[in-house]
Structure 1
Amino acid sequence: MVSHAFSQVDVFSTEPLRGNPVAVVHGADGLTDEQMAAFARWTNLSETTFLLTPTDPAADYRLRIFTPGGELPFAGHPTLGSAHAWLAAGGTTQGEAPVQQCGAGLVQLRRTDGRLAFAAPALVRSGPVEPALLGELVAALGLGAEEVLDAAWVDNGPGWVGLRLESAARVLALRPDHSAVPVKVGVVGPHPAGAECAVEVRAFCEPALGVAEDPVTGSLNASLAQWLAGDVLPASYVAAQGTVLGRRGRVHVETDEAGVIWVGGATRSTIAGTVDL
């Protein structure tokens, strides 16, 4: 058994305990896959991450990301929270901002207005949702088929399908049958003009993942922006997420002059110590 530095970081909220926490284990090169998976099940957070030495010389650190149900190639709030923890522990970058290596490849980060942000990774699957699968999703979420204004695969690694509804109020009113959700699905609807946030987002996961609803989701917001920003939604906007769960997530989406979508938010260390694994 070896002691490792440990951090727990709250992501996507400026208010304490109102974002999405990620557990971060530092110096995890000596841990086995089984140890990582077991610790992720034990924390029972939506994601637990492990910081390792990079194998790509262009990266500053390598990250492995686990849910209670298994490993993910990429996830957004763990990317921001782990970058925060790595920097707070004295990590130094080769360039102006960290470059993360993970299962999805290299992820560029930056800091703007005091917030960390990541460049949205390319979608690995896009396009229409199969009618049978869409029918399962509509039924699981308690929707009428006519309520779905648009649907698409928006998968940047975790496996998201996106559904667009007519309003934030309808998104907030959803009471899904979590046991019937067949794949990870993100639902988005607009707030009224002039509201603090442009849209409300919710993220529902299939039972095997071990997380019924993710409080605030960077990967989903990134892929929804790639789908909708500059067309249905503004090129840059703020999304609210976690409201139904008692959180106050705020996800900042910005499209730069080169067309790169950056997804960011506040990060705050809430726990620091050691863990014996």
Structure 2
Amino acid sequence: MGEYRFSQVDVFSAHGLRGNPVAVVHGADGLGDEEMAEFARWTNLSETTFLLEPTDAAADYRLRIFTTGGELPFAGHPTLGSAHAWLEAGGAATHADRVVQECAAGPVTVRRDERLAFAAPPLTRSGEVAAGDRAPILAALGLDDDQVLGMQWIDNGPGWAGIELASAGEVLAVEPVLHLCGQLKVGLVGPWVDPGQAGKDVEVRAFYGDGTDFMEDPVTGSLQAGLAQWLIPAGRLPQRYVAGQGVRRQRDGRVHVEVRDQQVWVGGDTVTTVAGTVRIGSA
């Protein structure tokens, strides 16, 4: 059984305990696939990550990302939380203003600015959701077709479909029909009427299932990236905005989205809430 440095980082929250936590295992090169999967199931968080030596000479570190059900090629809040943990542990980036993460989806640049922000990876699936998929999604969310301003695939790894609603209030009012949700992976977005008072421009919710369990994610970087890549070019979101997420999960996440030089960046505050060591592997 090996002993590994461990961090648990709250992402998209400046105060801790209000965002989305990710478990991070440092120096995990000695762990096998099943050991990683077993530990991810044990943490029971939406994602657990493992920091490894890069195989790409242009990367600062390599990252593997596991849910309780399997491995993901990319995910947003684990990317920011893992970059935070790597830097906090003394990671020396090649470039002072950014770190480069190697993951199954390819290299991901994380900008070091006022807060960490990742460059949204290219969508692997986009375009309108066809009627055959649209109807069961709306039924699972308890939405009428005339409530939907737009629905598109915005998949950058996890499999997201995005739905635009008329207001933040409509987003927060959605009550999924659990027995219809299955393996649904869908995000909702709607604007706040008074962004200044709310402290955020839009409200976002994310729902996902694996066929046996279904839940709402507290704050979701990959979904936020996909929504921005869809709605900013369409002129329905501005070049820079703040998205709230997590209200219905008793969280208060803030996601800072902006376009720089035609690249969408998704950023948020990161705070270490747990630090220590863990023992993983056969006795």
Verify same fold: TM over 0.5: yes
Query: Could you say if the C-alpha distance between residues 211 and 90 of structure 1 is closer, same or farther in structure 2, counting changes exceeding 3 Å?
Result: farther
Q: Aligned to 2:17, what secondary structure does the other structure show?
A: coil
- CA shift, 1:211, in A, is 5.5
Q: Hey, what does 1:118 align to over in structure 2?
A: 118
- What letter matches 1:129 in structure 2? V
| 2:263 maps to amino acid | V
Match of residue 271 from structure 2: 268
Whether the 8 Å contact between 1:70 and 1:209 is mirrored in structure 2 is no
RMSD: 1.2
Percent identity, aligned pairs only, is: 61
Structure 2 SS opposite 1:94: coil
1:157-236 alignment, distance < 5 Å: 157-181=157-181, 182-195=183-196, 196-208=199-211, 210=213, 212-230=215-233, 231-236=235-240
Structure 2 distance, partners of 1:157, 1:179, is 25
| Superposition pairs of residues 1-277 of structure 1, within 5 angstroms | 1-96=1-96, 97-113=98-114, 115-181=115-181, 182-195=183-196, 196-208=199-211, 210=213, 212-230=215-233, 231-256=235-260, 258-277=261-280
Report the Cα offset of residue 137 of structure 1: 0.7
Query: Secondary structure of the equivalent of 1:273?
Result: strand
Instruction: Rate the CA distance shift 1:165–1:207 in 2: closer, same or farther, 3 A.
Output: same
* Unmatched 5+ stretches in structure 2: none
Contact 1:120/1:262 (CA < 8 Å) preserved in 2? yes
| CA distance in structure 2 between the aligned counterparts of 1:43 and 1:202, rounded to whole angstroms | 23
**Secondary structure at the counterpart of residue 205 of structure 1:** strand
* Conserved? CA contact 1:116–1:266, under 8 Å: yes
For 2:103, the aligned partner's letter is C
Q: C-alpha separation between the residues in 1 aligned to 2:213 and 2:43?
A: 12
Q: Structure 1 residue 47: deviation in Å?
A: 0.4
Structure 1 unaligned segments of length 5 or more: list them: none
Q: Tell whether the 8 Å contact from 2:178 to 2:214 is kept in structure 1 after alignment.
A: no
Secondary structure of residue in 1 paired with 2:28: coil
Alignment coverage as a number of residue pairs = 275
| Secondary structure of residue in 2 paired with 1:69 | coil
Question: Structure 1, residues 108-138: CA drift from partner, whole Å, max 9, x if none?
Answer: 011222x100000000110011212111110
Q: Deviations over 1:188-223 (max 9, x none)?
A: 011114432111000000234855111000000001
Give the whole-Å Cα distance in 2 for the aligned partners of 1:210 and 1:276.
Answer: 28
TM-score (norm 1): 0.97
Partner Cα separation in structure 1 for residue 46 and residue 238 of structure 2: 29
Whole-Å Cα distance in 1 between the matches of residues 224 and 212 of structure 2? 19
**CA contact 1:37–1:70 (8 Å) conserved in 2:** yes
Pair 1:64–1:28, CA change in 2 (3 A): same
AA aligned opposite 1:55 = T
Amino acid at match of 1:22: V
Instruction: Report the CA distance between 1:148 and its aligned residue.
Output: 1.0
C-alpha distance in structure 1 between counterparts of 2:213 and 2:271, whole Å: 25
SS in 1 for 2:176: coil
The separation in 2 between residues aligned to 1:80 and 1:247, in whole angstroms, is 18
Q: What's the CA shift string for 1:43-99, capped at 9, x where partnerless?
A: 110100000011100000000000111110000000000000000000001112110
Name the SS of the counterpart of 2:14 in structure 1: coil
